[in-house]
Structure 1
Amino acid sequence: MSVSYAPVGFGDYHWQVIDEDGRPWFATVSDLEHKEYCGRGAAAALEGLRRAMETARTLRERDGLRFVVAPVPAADGRTVVALDARYALAVFPHVPGRPGRFGQRLSEAERDQVLELLADLHGRTPPETTPPTTLEPAGLSGVHEALGELDGVWSGGPFAEPARELLAEHAATLRARCAECAELTDEVRRRGAPLVGTHGEPHPGNLILGEDGYWLVDWDTVGLAPPERDLSLISADPSELARYTELTGRTPDPAGLALYRLRWSLLDVAEFVEWFRGEHDRSEDTETAWKGFTETLGQLADGASGVAARPGE
């Protein structure tokens, strides 16, 4: 057996594994203390991650969705194995093909291929294990708390004071965008958008182009939500989503697209604020997070929001 570290993605840790029979695998270790979208706290995050991986497995095995890259079960049948109180392991089949890049712009033909996958996914009955999602970005209470503590000193680590100063510079903009998010949330909720099983992050960085079309990886963000949760990452322009409408009969809601693009950026801000207000060191991850923090706040100040904000994927 051979194991080699794969320095890809942001947040989780990955290895390429060749077993004794020469079969390739892809192993992922998740830091449960930094997986808030799966649950607050390591124990809750482990449970949420297991639900997400079981959902992917069901979509692959029950529904026959070829493009779902689901984990293989361990000897006890679980798709996620706890290594200790903080870290958990999942193993996936190696998928041959050309990986996409985060921020990559898809051609019209490529975009339509991804929309076909999403139309198929959204048309399936969500597995019982599918985690729920909320319209409101998680962690915004921490952002509001931080905005109320800009006069003090942040001392959690090397990026604490720079983060406080940067947040103070963009405080008015951030409050305005949070208010805009609340208005959009109310509008989408009033319209009663249907809930479907969504991937959560179907951007090019989570796509692998194989001989038979695209594979979609990283299903830890799977969840029940309006379709715009996925579609907003393909385009903010409903006219570019025409293939989805053709297949499903549903025209994407512009308010929903705007909400989820803004929500993406605010989730980033919430994650970075929590990170830099807490205990941290200077590392490759925190350097990357700092770059993402500055870019996200800059985009929000410019009136933009969306997938270009998330770093490292």
Structure 2
Amino acid sequence: MKTSPNFDQQQFLTFLRQTYEIDFVSLSFIPEGECSYIYHAISSSDQYVVKVYIDPVVDLQHKMEISVKLRNFLPNVVAPILTNGGDLTCRFQADLSSYYLVALFPFIDGISRWQLWQKDQDFSGDQLRSVAQMIAHLHAITVDYPVIPKEDFTRPFCSGIQKIYQDINTFSPTHSYHQLLIDALKQEQSLVTSLISRFEDLVQYAQSGIKTTVITHGDPTSGNLVWNRGGIYLIDWDNMALGTPERDLTTFTGERFDLFLSVYLRHFQTDTLDLKLFSYYIHEWVLQEIYEFSERMLKSNNENQLQHDWQELRQYLPPDFSNLDSRIEAIQRELERGH
């Protein structure tokens, strides 16, 4: 989030000291991330990241437990730190009616791929190879974790978008950005409807037949890949699930996908990569962004947050079908090369 939560930061710092028995000396809000509030905490001897969750995350406790276990196989998995009571999360009572779920993580003193992108830079070839190898090793882990959620290829975000279209008919704007959003949604409704229709066809395909499933991170995007002298670290495991390899691989399609895929397939051999599943996740991502930014804008009156959400939303609204098709065609060419 781009704006800090509306609670007493000193009270929160005291809560963290008591809950983790760590002598925190400072706490700074970081205006990053989309689904939680992020803080940088410093103690007398170390640095940490504090994550304050805005909305409930499905099976979060189980996902965190598994991320801890995954460190036995992938040491650069960033897992939560236990409270003094041995818990992976804790609840902060901001006032009489507001609770926030909180988790503490080690701070990785490095630079994310997203931060490099802001400087018109990127991971080197060797760094990208390291990422591909890490994702391959993750997918190769065969330990059975019965509590891990499983990708079921439902219609995420479609019903949410349809509800937003119903709501804006009676919504009373209280900010100029609300009206911008409503006008844009109405203007592009036919294209959004076409996108949902295309996606529903892909849902039917994805739900049919038996699919190869592996442990997936679910969101290995540029902001969750951090490099320092210790190597590449993979953070934020909130979207972990058993799913098809394409669930993670779709993130890396585009420029240098050929390099990524060739390294990945050397470390995780599979001949079942499916173009239609790549297409499923590409379409799902666009629908997710349209839904989440639209919903958040309708609930907010904060100028800075609204401006950020509007700028992000305009990357996906209207849907760019030409770009979607070009991405899918490029993936098809790489899959046909065989590597």
TM superposition score category, shorter chain reference: 0.7 to 0.9
Distance 1:176 1:233, change over 3 A: same
Map 1:223-302 onto structure 2 (within 5 A): 223-235=241-253, 239-240=258-259, 241-251=261-271, 252-277=273-298, 279-300=299-320, 302=322
TM-score of the pair, normalised by structure 2: 0.77
Partner residue in 2 for 1:198? 216
Distance 1:126 1:231, change over 3 A: farther
Distance 2:173 2:152 in 1: 29
Partner residue in 2 for 1:14? 38
1:236 deviates by: 5.2
1:275 deviates by: 2.5
1:151-170: per-residue Cα shift (whole Å, max 9, x none)?
x3422542333222111111
Residue 51 of structure 2 is aligned to residue 28 of structure 1: yes
Map 1:98-247 onto structure 2 (within 5 A): 98-101=111-114, 104=117, 106-124=123-141, 125=143, 127-148=145-166, 152-155=169-172, 157-158=174-175, 159-235=177-253, 239-240=258-259, 241-247=261-267
Is the Cα contact below 8 Å between 2:116 and 2:123 reproduced in 1?
no
Distance 1:269 1:137, change over 3 A: farther
The structure that has the greater radius of gyration is: 2
Specify the code of the residue in structure 1 equivalent to 2:164: A
Specify the code of the residue in structure 1 equivalent to 2:69: T
Partner residue in 2 for 1:91? 104
Partner residue in 1 for 2:27? 4
Structure 2 residue runs of 5 or longer lacking an equivalent are: 1-23, 328-339
1:205 deviates by: 1.3
Helix, strand or coil: the match of 2:160? helix
Structure 1 residue runs of 5 or longer lacking an equivalent are: 40-47, 307-313
Specify the code of the residue in structure 2 equivalent to 1:118: I
Residue 94 of structure 2 is aligned to residue 73 of structure 1: no
Aligned CA RMSD, in angstroms, stands at: 2.5
Distance 1:116 1:157, change over 3 A: farther
Distance 2:207 2:39 in 1: 41
Distance 1:103 1:96 in 2: 14
Distance 1:223 1:130 in 2: 6
1:141 deviates by: 0.7
Is the Cα contact below 8 Å between 1:203 and 1:233 reproduced in 2?
yes
1:267 deviates by: 0.9
TM-score of the pair, normalised by structure 1: 0.82
Q: How many residues align?
A: 289
Higher RCO (Cα < 8 Å, 6 or more apart): 1
1:230 deviates by: 0.5
